[in-house]
Structure 1
């Protein structure tokens, strides 16, 4: 097996050495073999980095990526792991889409049509149009 230095891995993977160290520190990349105090990786590190990159692109957090690797029984097939995490992430994405749609509606239907000269006037309009309540409840914007 080839023993690669962290710089070689980073260059070939197109990431920074600090990212590799970070992945190790948060337990999504196993600690490598050390030779004379220096990290040495075998070529399997690229498989793990590819999985990490895909998970990040899908919006998974570090905790979720850690769960992908360490949160299942060792014999759990990869497909089952991805599907379980994907189902959970889709619930979050759907909620985010609802919040985003509400934001877009507020921007298009209210803020782009604003004709107020002062923010005090805006506040009165908001209260008048919303019967004293916010036009779009804040729960639509933040969890």
Structure 2
């Protein structure tokens, strides 16, 4: 059997039959010099969206490994069930991807806490009814 052996980012050996490779799609995250970090950040419906966006822009702008070009995208993308969701999409050099990904998540949480911007938990309304028998 002809196979291709790949190593995953967490050092697992993946053996793929060549027949799957010939008929499938291969995604190579390390082939290009740059890569976009994609984060979704939810803020509370009662929060000031302008302030939240400004905080996110400063965090991204201040990170030393975020590339200035192409420019990062930070916009409201969705009105979710429990939060207003921003997309945060800066570009980085491919080897810096995970460092920036983790740094931004941590820094966003810490800065939102300091600045009073909430990250809401999913919410559900529960209605209880009293049934009487008889």
- TM-score, normalization by structure 2: 0.23
Identify, as 1 or 2, the structure richer in helix. Answer: 1
More relative contact order in 1 or in 2 (CA 8 Å, sep 6+)?
A: 2
